[in-house]
Structure 1
Amino acid sequence: MEIQGKLIKKLDQQTGHGKNGAWVKQEFIIETQEQYPRKICISLWGDKVRELDPIQEGSQIKVAINIESREFNGRWYTDVRAWRIEPMSKGATPEQAPEPPPFNDNLYPPMEGGSDDGLPF
């Protein structure tokens, strides 16, 4: 699944040691660009944390995510994990690019010295 929005805030990195060794996690907040914008907290784990470093707060980004819920002691917890982050270009995307105007024959004067068929040769 992909989500597009504006990077609102980068939260501090968290580190620790578990049964599988050292781990690093960073969360960030994006705001969707819909009629009713939503803020979403997304987490990055391991080497993926470095993908967030060059992206500035306020930038438009596209994030590929997985959503998963887990049960622990009778309560459910939902995790939104990013597995790819891409900055969005500032130019228009093909869906947003304006369509060219239709061709209008009246804008061009007829060729002189030709035959009646309208061909220049």
Structure 2
Amino acid sequence: MEIIGIVKKLFKIQKFDSGFRKREMVLTSEEAYPQNILIEFIQDKVDLLENINIKDKIKVFINIRGREWTNPEGIIKYFNSIQGWKIEDYSTNSSKKTSSISQSLSSDDFDDLPF
């Protein structure tokens, strides 16, 4: 799955004694009713946020994770998390690069084709 949106907030890296690392961000979707979605990046995926800034428009590839937990009273609870595993720039600059490539080709460029 993937989500496209604007980076609203970047949290600091959390490091645990076990060596586990985690960093979270909030991405605001662009739709009729924008959603602020918390996405976590764990272990080596934390590094994906190194060059990301607030207000960047990005596409984040995600996995939805679910887990079961039994509290001390014996009640079972369920939790969900959204984990990012890949980020692509989705700014207008990247779309301009794509469109300029397609506009630079003309019919003259294909005169040497054998058919």
Structure 2 gaps, min length 5: 71-75, 100-115
Verify: 1:81 aligned to 2:87, yes or no.
no
Mapping of residues 7-86 of structure 1, within 5 Å: 7-18=7-18, 22-73=19-70, 74-86=76-88
Cα separation, 1, equivalents of 2:87 and 2:4: 10
1:88 maps to amino acid: Y
Cα separation, 2, equivalents of 1:17 and 1:68: 23
Q: Is the 8 A contact 1:25 1:45 kept in 2?
A: yes
Q: How many residues align?
A: 92
Q: Is the 8 A contact 1:55 1:87 kept in 2?
A: no
Structure 1 gaps, min length 5: 98-121
Per the normalisation by structure 2, the TM-score is 0.74
SS at match of 1:12: coil
Cα separation, 2, equivalents of 1:5 and 1:82: 13
- How far does residue 62 in structure 1 lie from its aligned partner after superposition? 0.2
- How far does residue 17 in structure 1 lie from its aligned partner after superposition? 2.8
Residues 58-87 of structure 1 show CA distances to partners (whole Å, capped at 9, x for unaligned) of: 010100000011110101110100010112
1:76 maps to amino acid: Y
Per the normalisation by structure 1, the TM-score is 0.70
SS at match of 1:49: helix
SS at match of 1:17: coil
RMSD across aligned positions (CA): 1.7
SS at match of 2:92: coil
**Would you identify which runs of 4 or more consecutive aligned residues in structure 1 move more than 3 Å?**
91-94
Structure 1 residue aligned with 2:103 = none
1:5 maps to amino acid: G
- How far does residue 92 in structure 1 lie from its aligned partner after superposition? 7.5
Higher helix share: 2
Identity %: 33
